[in-house]
């Protein structure tokens, strides 16, 4: 099957670029003796997760129980869920998943820890890491002192094991996060609770991750596909972007405007940092700008283009944020060059619970 035979809108995944991105990251990790535990939120494909593990990743990261369960169904056996699991139904599902795989979770409150402790027993305790807010301002305990208090609560619960620390650090400020984690580590060691794992992550700082000397594992996600956002952050170039949305020009209302059939339901609506503008990069028309999205349409400004597409022409769009695009489609096409190797059903698409 040739890519020209694919109807639109559709997602194409360039396997040569995927493999190059994975190798680059794994080579960096191996050089710096920094184990990778990649986040599957970007690809949501168990076969891609298997590729990552085969290259050397120590396991995977999932954000929700549904996503983790789908990955377990796909043969993944070592899963980290860096999320506060709250509520009876979710804890029931967590117990079931824990029986199937090697599982770790996080907590940043006594409420979350109490919920875990009430459901897990000494026969197979649940591994729990304390989530730390090292500057990103999302979840996490707010000080090394709080870290010790929560770690002690975890350690005292018969059905739980204190596994260490986890953070989603502020982009571009490795030193700040590292200093925070070193202080927490020292406080824990003084309390007789040395952390076995200190887990950090984020693709934007992937190739500086070794500067975080407290970190013992790293959780990149978007690196497998990359996107315009990562390019704007300085992670590679547009030539590294493996995911594109194939779209068709459905209207040319005037000489400088085109409309394609991939709106917010195909491209998402994330903004991209400077120097980039618009809602995606048209590979065939690099000077075009996607200036507006509605649900089923993207409006393209062609005023800076010498050559301009006609109605019926197809284009490939590098999205601003690949992770969101993956969750908008049921399947993707895996391609090499212009040849479609196969279709792949997105394993954990829509598993947000």
Contact 340, 352 (CB under 8 A): no
% the chain with pLDDT above 70:
100
The pLDDT value recorded for residue 110 is 98
- The Cα–Cα gap between 353 and 348 comes to 11
With cut-offs at 50, 70 and 90, classify the pLDDT of residue 293: very high
Phi, psi angle pair for 58, to nearest 5°: -85, -10
State both tokens at 175: 């030193």
pTM (whole model) above 0.95: yes
What is the average pLDDT value for the chain, to the nearest integer?
98
The pLDDT value recorded for residue 121 is 96
Q: Mind listing the pLDDT tens digit for each residue in 110-142?
A: 999 999 999 999 999 999 999 999 999 999 999
DSSP per residue, 90-144: HHHHHHHHHTTSEEEEEESSHHHHHHHHTT--TTSPEEEEEEE-SSS-SSSBSSH
DSSP 8-class letter at 211: G
State both tokens at 331: 């399947």
- The Cα–Cα gap between 351 and 285 comes to 35
With cut-offs at 50, 70 and 90, classify the pLDDT of residue 301: very high
What is the number of residues in the chain?
A: 353
CA 115 to chain centre: 27
Q: Mind listing the pLDDT tens digit for each residue in 225-271?
A: 999 999 999 999 999 999 999 999 999 999 999 999 999 999 999 99
Cα–Cα distances (Å) from 242 to 129, 202, 222, 285, 330, in that order, read: 33, 18, 10, 17, 18
- The Cα–Cα gap between 347 and 90 comes to 20
With cut-offs at 50, 70 and 90, classify the pLDDT of residue 344: very high
Contact 166, 151 (CB under 8 A): no
Using CA atoms of 202, 205, 208, 214 in order, give the dihedral in degrees to the nearest 10: -40
State both tokens at 322: 């690949």
């Amino acid at each position: 099957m040739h890519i020209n035979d694919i109807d639109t809108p559709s997602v194409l995944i360039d396997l040569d670029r995927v493999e190059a991105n994975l190798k680059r990251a794994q080579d960096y990790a191996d050089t710096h003796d920094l184990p990778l535990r990649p986040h599957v939120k970007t690809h949501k494909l168990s076969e891609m997760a298997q590729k990552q593990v085969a290259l050397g990743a120590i396991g995977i990261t999932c954000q929700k129980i549904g996503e983790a369960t789908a990955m377990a169904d796909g043969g993944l056996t070592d899963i980290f869920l860096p999320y506060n699991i709250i509520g009876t139904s979710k804890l029931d599902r967590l117990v079931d998943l824990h029986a199937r795989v090697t599982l770790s979770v996080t907590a940043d409150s006594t409420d979350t820890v109490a919920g875990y402790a009430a459901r897990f027993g000494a026969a197979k305790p649940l591994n729990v890491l304390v989530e730390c807010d090292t500057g990103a301002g999302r979840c996490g305990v707010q000080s090394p002192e709080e870290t010790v208090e929560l770690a002690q609560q975890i350690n005292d619960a018969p059905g739980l094991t204190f596994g260490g620390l986890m953070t989603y650090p502020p982009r571009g400020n490795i030193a700040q996060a590292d200093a925070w984690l070193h202080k927490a580590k020292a406080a824990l060691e003084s309390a007789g609770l040395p952390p076995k794992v200190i887990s950090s992550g984020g693709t934007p700082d992937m190739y500086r991750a070794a500067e975080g000397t407290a970190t013992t594992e790293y959780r990149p996600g978007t690196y497998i596909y990359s996107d315009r956002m990562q390019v704007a952050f300085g992670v590679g170039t547009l030539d590294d972007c493996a995911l594109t949305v194939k779209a068709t020009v459905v209207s040319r209302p005037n000489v400088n405007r085109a409309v394609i059939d991939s709106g917010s339901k195909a491209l998402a609506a994330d903004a991209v940092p400077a120097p980039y503008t618009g809602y995606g990069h048209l590979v065939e028309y690099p000077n075009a700008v996607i200036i507006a999205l509605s649900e089923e349409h993207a409006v393209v400004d062609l005023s800076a283009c010498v050559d301009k597409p006609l109605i019926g022409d197809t284009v490939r769009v590098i999205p601003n944020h690949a992770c969101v695009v993956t969750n908008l489609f049921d399947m993707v096409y895996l391609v090499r060059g212009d040849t479609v190797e196969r279709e792949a059903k997105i394993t954990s698409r829509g598993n947000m619970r």
